[in-house]
Structure 1
Amino acid sequence: MVRIFWAGEDSLPAGDRGAAYGDGLFETILMRGQQGALAARHLERMVRDAARLGIPITRRQLQEAYSQAVNRFGDASAAAPWVLKLVLTRGAGGRGYRPQPGMEPHLHIQASPAPSAPELSGVEADFSRVPLTVNPLLAGIKSLNRLEQVMAAREIQGELFEVIQSNARGELVEGSRTNLLLASDDGWFTPPLADLAVAGVMRQWVLEQLRARGEQVTESPILPEHVLGNGCRGFYLLNSVLGVVPVRRLAEQDLPVDGGLATICDPLQTLE
Structure 2
Amino acid sequence: MLKVYWAADDSLPSGDRGLAYGDGLFETIRVSRGQAPLVMHHLERLVHDAMRLGIRLARPEIESVFASALERYGALYGDADWILKLVVTRGTGGRGYRPAAAVTPSLFLFHASLPVLPPASGVSVDFSRIPLTVNPLLAGIKSLNRLEQVMAASEIKEPIFELLMSNADGHVVEGTRTNIFLHTPNGWVTPPAKSLAVSGVMRRQVIERLHTVGEPLRESDVEMADLLGSHCQGLYLTNSVLGVVPVRNLAGHDLPAGNQLATICDPHKRPD
TM-score if structure 1 supplies the norm length?
0.96
Aligned residue number for residue 254 of structure 2: 254
2:99 is aligned with 1:99:
yes
SS at match of 2:138: coil
- For 2:193 and 2:54, the matched residues in 1 are separated by 21
CA shift for structure 1 position 269: 5.8
CA shift for structure 1 position 151: 0.4
Contact 2:262 2:269 in 1 (8 A): no
- Is the deviation greater in 179-188 or in 254-263? 254-263
CA shift for structure 1 position 77: 8.6
SS at match of 1:30: strand
Aligned residue number for residue 143 of structure 1: 143
2:121 is aligned with 1:121:
yes
SS at match of 1:119: coil
Contact 1:190 1:220 in 2 (8 A): yes
Contact 2:34 2:79 in 1 (8 A): no
CA offsets 1:35-58 (integer angstroms, 9 cap, x no match): 112101100100000111011211
Contact 1:32 1:78 in 2 (8 A): no
CA shift for structure 1 position 76: 9.7
Greater relative contact order: 1 or 2 (C-alpha under 8 angstroms, separation 6 or more)? 1
CA offsets 1:80-107 (integer angstroms, 9 cap, x no match): 1000000000001211000001101110
- For 1:71 and 1:32, the matched residues in 2 are separated by 13
CA offsets 1:212-231 (integer angstroms, 9 cap, x no match): 11111000000000010011
Alignment of 1:177-188 (within 5 A): 177-188=177-188
- For 1:210 and 1:180, the matched residues in 2 are separated by 14
TM-score if structure 2 supplies the norm length?
0.96
* Backbone CA RMSD of aligned residues: 1.4
Contact 1:28 1:83 in 2 (8 A): yes
2:161 is aligned with 1:171:
no
- For 1:25 and 1:170, the matched residues in 2 are separated by 27
- For 1:183 and 1:75, the matched residues in 2 are separated by 40
Aligned residue number for residue 161 of structure 1: 161
Aligned residue number for residue 196 of structure 2: 196
Contact 2:190 2:222 in 1 (8 A): yes
- For 2:2 and 2:20, the matched residues in 1 are separated by 19
Unaligned runs of 5+ in 1: none
- For 1:203 and 1:260, the matched residues in 2 are separated by 15
